[in-house]
Amino acid sequence: MEPVLLRARGAADSRAITTYLKAGGYEGWKKALAMGPDAVTKEVSDSELRGRGGAGFPTGRKWSFVPKDHPGPRYLVCNADESEPGTFKDREIIEYDPHQVIEGIAIASFAIKANTAYIYIRGEFVRWARILEETITEARQHGFLGKNVLGSGFDLDVWVHRGAGAYICGEETALLESIEGKRGFPRLKPPFPAVVGLFGKPTVINNVETLACVPHIITRGAAWFAGIGRAKNTGPKLFGVSGHVNRPGVYELPLGVTFREIIEEHAGGVRGGRKLKAFFPGGSSAPVLTAAEVDVKADFDACAEAKTMLGSGGIIVFDDSVDMVEVADNVAHFYAHESCGQCTPCREGSDWCMDILDRLMAGHGLPADPDTLLRICRFASGGMTICPLGDAFALPITSLVTKFRDEFERHIAAATPLPPRKLPVLPWAGPKAGFGI
């Protein structure tokens, strides 16, 4: 497949607006302004573009949920809070071709009639926040943003908002709270952001990669986009491959290729001649797939059939030297650290899982541990929590315990009893302490 989103990667001055314009940049924006908002939304719906942030919700439908007759402001938010372990695709887009994102934001804002758009970028992405600022300035200087864009009468301002280091702020409603200056707590839904969003106004939140697809859809047509991949899973997708492969990196491939092709052909296979043991298909919050499942197609529906999810497309590969209990422990540590602490099952469950797995790794496992882990995960997922962070730690741990139970059992069989707990010496309980002092 010819590269679409990463076509500028490797070129000299790939970020400059001159390079982008030479490649036909902002033609989609001009075309969209001529088409009108409803036609743009229809074109995106027809392309069957699905959100690239993880959930895979149809983008055109998301836009159509914004109330048509709502008076007052609406907002578009570009979610660049890319923090999922194993995911580094948005950074690649911003690094090499950020004008696609700005053009996508412009078209999407026009489609939902928003005059203000925010880019919420992960706090650690200092360099990429600066790149976006420069890109916005360039676009504004060329008249693609600002008041009365290209003489169309449409105004658009784009602002970059940097996060403060919380993974949870990638969840769309926590992200909105964060932009509003509040603590990053996900909101209870309904109401959904399309109705009550940023500052209480209708808001659409789209991922960087999703928005980067939009200009191409408008320029080259929905039919072209729908021709890539397979039905309901259309378009190019960025896969970030990391872990035990020879060539880790970001690869742009049509949806529907198999994970085998991604790992073996594009990422150069498992490094050091070792065997593939398992892999996370879409960031660490997706249930793990084993080597036997490597022929699953990398798209939304095929992954759902395999009881996992494509998520962000961040593939983490494990070779046969990996201890899957340690993987589970690592996952649990991340999510226990990133749980916002708002609702009970996630706050208590993530920490509890971490404690159990830490104990297992320390060689003090108990026979009941795998079942306890499964029970915790069962009641922290599937709608038990306000936001999907409960599922994000529960589903991968559940899959690791069920698919690699033998490794857990091996740890438990080799376990030694917990050393007796050292009680703290209280200042008033020492030998010199007495009553009546």
Q: Which parts of 148-230 fold into alpha helices (H)? A: 172-179, 208-220, 222-226
Q: The tokens of 368 are what? A: 């009941």
Report which of 237, 306, 298, 290 is spatially closest to residue 404, judged by C-alpha positions. Answer: 290
Binding map of another protein across residues 372-411, x = CB under 8 A, - = no contact: x--xx-xx--xxxxx-------------------------
Q: Which CB, 285 or 342, lies closer to another protein?
A: 342
Q: Which CB, 234 or 339, lies closer to another protein?
A: 339
Instruction: Please give the size of the binding site for another protein, defined by CB under 8 A.
Output: 35
Q: Which CB, 244 or 347, lies closer to another protein?
A: 347
Q: The tokens of 10 are what? A: 């490797």
Stretch that binds another protein, among 135-143, 217-225, 303-311, 346-354 (CB under 8 A): 346-354
Q: How far apart are CA 370 and CA 286, in angstroms?
A: 19
Instruction: Identify the residue among 348, 361, 409, 410 touching another protein (CB under 8 A).
Output: 348
31 binds another protein (CB under 8 A): no
Shortest Cβ 349–another protein spacing (Å): 6
342 binds another protein (CB under 8 A): yes
Stretch that binds another protein, among 51-59, 90-98, 237-245, 337-345 (CB under 8 A): 337-345
Q: How far apart are CA 151 and CA 154, in angstroms?
A: 8
332 binds another protein (CB under 8 A): no
Would you say 105 and 64 are in contact if contact means Cβ atoms under 8 Å apart?
Answer: no
Shortest Cβ 166–another protein spacing (Å): 7
List 207's β-bridge partners, or say none: 79
359 binds another protein (CB under 8 A): yes
Binding map of another protein across residues 146-175, x = CB under 8 A, - = no contact: --------------------x---------
Q: Which CB, 151 or 417, lies closer to another protein?
A: 417
Would you say 369 and 360 are in contact if contact means Cβ atoms under 8 Å apart?
Answer: yes
Contacts of 279 (CB under 8 A, 6+ apart): 243, 259, 263, 288, 289, 294, 315, 316, 317, 318
Q: Which residue has the tokens 């009468």?
A: 153
- In the range 92-151, which residues lie near another protein by CB under 8 A? none
Q: The tokens of 73 are what? A: 């402001």
Q: How far apart are CA 89 and CA 190, in angstroms?
A: 30
Q: Which parts of 113-232 fold into alpha helices (H)? A: 126-141, 172-179, 208-220, 222-226
Instruction: Identify the residue among 83, 207, 350, 399 touching another protein (CB under 8 A).
Output: 350
356 binds another protein (CB under 8 A): yes
Would you say 35 and 43 are in contact if contact means Cβ atoms under 8 Å apart?
Answer: yes
Instruction: Identify the residue among 59, 210, 233, 339 touching another protein (CB under 8 A).
Output: 339
Q: How far apart are CA 96 and CA 169, in angstroms?
A: 25
Instruction: Identify the residue among 34, 126, 164, 188 touching another protein (CB under 8 A).
Output: 188
Q: The tokens of 90 are what? A: 């948005």
Q: Which CB, 273 or 383, lies closer to another protein?
A: 383
Shortest Cβ 240–another protein spacing (Å): 26
Q: How far apart are CA 103 and CA 13, in angstroms?
A: 18
Shortest Cβ 395–another protein spacing (Å): 15
Q: Which CB, 187 or 297, lies closer to another protein?
A: 187
Q: Which amino acid, one-letter code, is at 64?
A: S
Shortest Cβ 290–another protein spacing (Å): 27
Binding residues for another protein, rule: CB under 8 A, are 166, 183, 188, 336-345, 347-352, 355-356, 359, 366, 368, 372, 375-376, 378-379, 382-386, 421
